[in-house]
A and B are shown apart, each in its own frame.
Chain A
Amino acid sequence: MTQDYETVIGLEVHAQLRTRTKMFCGCSTAFGAPPNTQTCPVCQGMPGTLPVINRRAIEYGIKTALALQCTVNADNRFARKHYYYPDMPKNYQISQYEEPLAEHGRLEVEVGGVSRAIGIQRLHLEEDVGKLVHEGSLETAPSSQVDFNRAGVPLMEIVSLPDMRSPEEAAAYLRSLRAIVVYLGVCDGNMEEGSLRCDANISLRLRGATEYGTKVEIKNMNSFKNVQHALEYEITRQARALETGERIVQETRLWDPDKGRTVSMRSKEFAHDYRYFPEPDLPPLDVEPAWIERVRATVPELPAARRVRFMEVYGLGAYDADLLTGSRALGDYFEATVQVCGKPKVAANWVLNELLRELAGDDERALAGCPIPPANLAGLITLIENGTISGRIAKDVFDKMYQSGEDAQTIVDREGLTQVADAGELSAVVDQVLAQHAKVVLDWKSGKKAARGFLVGQVMKATAGKASPAVVNSLLDEKLPKV
């Protein structure tokens, strides 16, 4: 039944900006500090306090707007958005309303090899709220507690047009957007810690219809997987409702990842008329062309362009190039490795297969904690390429490098792992293996070609993996027919 309907999805993404201080005061934005230690009269909304705009937050907003091909509004300003909730110190949020920082952008996303441009409606800045802690769940808690450390942290809200047509497309949009903000260095992109949050508006309509259906807002999807699952669930739910003639209610629903379903939110905000009006405590911004150009000069190469370059310059396939440019830090790591060893394809394999298996993620933080610096990985690759160690030994060396932080040469030297390529030395081992496995040799002679691989394996085992596979193969080529 879902195939009768077209899905219409728009995403609202909130990105915490990586400024050192909050949006309107000098308190630190560092994550994980003890409760209520990063507050001051301003961010706690004490009577008499006033906000002062953080210049870097504005510049990060402009930078992102440029990367998303938005028009930066020369005249833009802050407004107050009112609703009562205990995590919001002033019971209004300083945000932007009628005159946002930027509008009318686009973001290319690719799903199944097809590229589409998703429209960006607006990009604006606002302040985050504090954190509520409940005894048990929100529904049953007899009371809740508030930590205002996060209150006032700069947020950038990026609102897409309802241009996405599938959960896959929504996930791809979110991935591309995340990659861009991380590339720009304006957000750490960490969804688990809430640095990047995503709400979705989703509605269904009969295929061919031009009017949008009633939309439902979904919140609390703190991973790419959750976004996709929540949207898939919601499509099924809405389609079923439409089939049975049920009315779709315009509402906010929360994704419950444990139960795998969305549930109607009983209450989030106590007022629905936000009563926006221009923030009288903050003069408007006048983003002059010269300022925009200064910021434009700081925009780095973006993922899409880098991906193309990786394919063209390094000869990588689309899939590898995609993965390697998924995070700026990973791409940087890869390029630094290639710069030293000059073997892009080998380096790509090591980074994508071995390194990513060990690392907690592909983001900046994960790579900052990586015990193998790019030069060391390049050193390992060089040892393989010049025949000093075998590919099999290399994997062991890699594991040891990861554990100890030592470079490859040190480990190889200490443990005597240098590849044995001396035909004379290996000849005896090959003879011995052939003698010990006469039956296997017979199998080979009777046409079981796989038997040869077993023999190679036995030689490697006997030499503790140090034998050069090339030399072993040529020795077997020479000796086997003669047995």
Chain B
Amino acid sequence: MRRELDGILTYIDKLRAVDTEGVPPTSRAVPMTNVMREDEPKPSCPREDMLANAPDRAGELFRVPRIIEE
């Protein structure tokens, strides 16, 4: 894995050769702004639907192992 990652990073390093002086970054393919929704409530989902995929639960809550490391 290490060797493969090194190979990929070496390949990626070819980006250094590109002159990007003064070029703005593009993080989105299509420029848009101000996409919003109105503050209108929609019904939430039935609790059982939302808990159905839980790997472990305690009643109506999702259960996780102890948070503090031993």
Contact = CB atoms under 8 A, between A and B. Distances in A.
Contact of B36 (A54, A139, A141): A54
B2 interface: no
B41 A27 contact: yes
Given A21-B39, A34-B47, A266-B68, 18 more contacts: A20-B41, A26-B37, A26-B41, A35-B61, A36-B62, A39-B47, A39-B50, A40-B42, A52-B35, A133-B61, A141-B67, A142-B66, A267-B68, A267-B69, A277-B27, A280-B27, A283-B32, A285-B34
B44 A139 contact: no
B1 interface: no
B61 A36 contact: yes
Nearest to A288: B34
B66 to A, nearest CB: 6
Give the secondary structure class of B's interface.
Answer: loop
Q: 3 closest pairs, A vs B, by CB?
A: A26-B42, A145-B61, A56-B39
Interface of B: 27-28, 31-45, 47, 50-51, 58, 60-69
B66 A52 contact: no
A145 B62 contact: yes
Contact of A86 (B39, B44, B67): B67
B70 to A, nearest CB: 11
A154 B57 CA distance: 26
A238 interface: no
Contacts of A147: 60-61
A41 B67 contact: no
A39 B33 CA distance: 27
Contacts of B42: 21, 25-27, 40
Q: Which of A20, A21, A36, A133 has the most CB of B within 10 A?
A: A36
Contact of A57 (B39, B45, B64): B39
A27 B39 contact: no
Contacts of A141: 66-67
A139 B36 CA distance: 41
Give the secondary structure class of A's interface.
Answer: loop
Nearest to A47: B53
A371 interface: no
The size bracket of the interface on A is: 35 or more
A39 B61 contact: no
Q: Which of B36, B44, B63 has the most CB of A within 10 A?
A: B44
A53 B45 CA distance: 19
Given A21-B41, A44-B50, A283 B66 contact: no
Contact of A285 (B33, B60, B62, B69): B33
Interface string A242-281: 0000000000000000000000001100000000011010
12 contacts: A21-B42, A34-B47, A39-B44, A40-B50, A54-B37, A139-B68, A141-B66, A144-B64, A144-B67, A145-B61, A145-B62, A267-B69
A37 B34 contact: no
A286 interface: yes
A440 B34 CA distance: 83
A27 B33 contact: no
Contacts of B44: 27-28, 37-40
B32 to A, nearest CB: 4
Contact of A54 (B39, B68, B69): B39
B64 to A, nearest CB: 4
A142 B67 CA distance: 8
Nearest to A43: B44
